Chain A
């Protein structure tokens, strides 16, 4: 049975599990599910706000993980980044069933950029946490708009309506917010 309890797996544990899943190890897949399904279900629920739809998406997400495990290493992502990106994009595709798909980059690209070394990956993972700090430097409603677009899957039009500003104004806000975030993250 799964030997990792929910949320207890370290990034290194997850790396090892991903390597075993790539070799079609079903026990490893079950461990990954135990370790990460609650986080990924939380992400899907946040986007969809509907348990039945989120359950469907969670199943689809783990099927993708199993079927695309060999693609994971190419991204250079940490396991949680890869898993959450798949979960978030799959949930958003469900939300906008008729709209444009938010494919994973690897759907589009055949070229593989050189992945980072483990040291670089660790540095990157630590540094990625600065996004929260940098969001804190934006005005509160602009940070909320960025979060709304990523976590709730709002379109520009929806955030514009939410904050009662014209669509083009919202586009400008968001682009300026992303520009500020980028400067903060690069500093």
Chain B
């Protein structure tokens, strides 16, 4: 069988050795540059280079032991090339919990102050903790006829603000008071009760006012102290049933 190196091409042994040295990487940078200039107009030399690449790579394939790389390399690679959707979902879920627990406390306090300023009696909520007793906790369950409301306050990188009221019928009125829709993206409203997973309430419309009638099973989950959040999602809403994009706004329900 004729050799790969000479079956189709005819170059001098000296040039052949230069091609091998080029593949080995032993040339000085000047010699290398000169050789590369020749490569651009000598296809036979290109073939010689490729033949040496094939010979030496085959030697490595035969002689070098396989060593399994640690799993983190593939994870880092896929994150570099494709982003890492699974990790992103976890991160959003984590971030929504951190934000909820932060805003839950803050917005309860600010809502209470605002309500007090309006002269509405909120004494049960404002009673200081009894010495050695339980801290004040929001009531759960809603007495008949109670209207719940909250302001969804924008998170760090967001300008979105909304006012949400829940009628005694269970119907939600969601009014956009700041910020706007992003072209090609959707905004999804979530209910977070206690430590339970966020439950989707639906997508916000283009108009400033969106009316939502949750299913009865979902409507009965609402309670004082539950959180509402808006997440950025692909058109059509979260493909997973859990928030997948950034949290844009958050607030905690209080009774009016």
Contacts and interface: CB of A to CB of B under 8 A. Distances in A.
A59 B20 contact: no
Interface in B57-97: 57-70, 72-74, 76-77, 80-82
B64 A151 contact: yes
Contact of A62 (B61, B67, B77): B77
B155 to A, nearest CB: 31
Contacts of B62: 129, 132
A54 B58 CA distance: 20
A92 interface: yes
A66 interface: yes
B64 A127 contact: no
Max chain A C-beta neighbours (<10 A), residue from B3, B16, B69, B76: B69
B56 A150 contact: yes
B39 A131 contact: no
Interface residues of A, number: 65
Q: Which of A102, A131, A151, A155 has the most CB of B within 10 A?
A: A131
Contacts of A102: 25
A54 B70 CA distance: 11
A58 B73 contact: yes
Q: How large is the interface on B (under 10, 10 to 19, 20 to 34, 35 or more residues)?
A: 35 or more
Interface in A112-133: 113, 123-125, 127-129, 131-132
Interface stretch (B46-54, B139-147, B168-176, B236-244): B46-54
A115 B162 CA distance: 63
A42 B46 contact: no
Interface of B: 1-6, 13, 16-17, 20-21, 24-29, 32, 36, 39-40, 43, 46-47, 49-50, 53-70, 72-74, 76-77, 80-82
Q: Which 8 A-B pairs have the closest CB atoms?
A: A186-B3, A38-B66, A102-B25, A128-B58, A84-B57, A41-B69, A81-B57, A131-B55
Interface of A: 6-7, 26, 33, 37-39, 41-43, 45-46, 54-55, 58-59, 62-63, 66, 75-78, 80-82, 84-85, 88-89, 92, 100, 102, 105, 108-111, 113, 123-125, 127-129, 131-132, 135, 147, 149-151, 153, 155-156, 174-175, 178-179, 181-183, 185-187
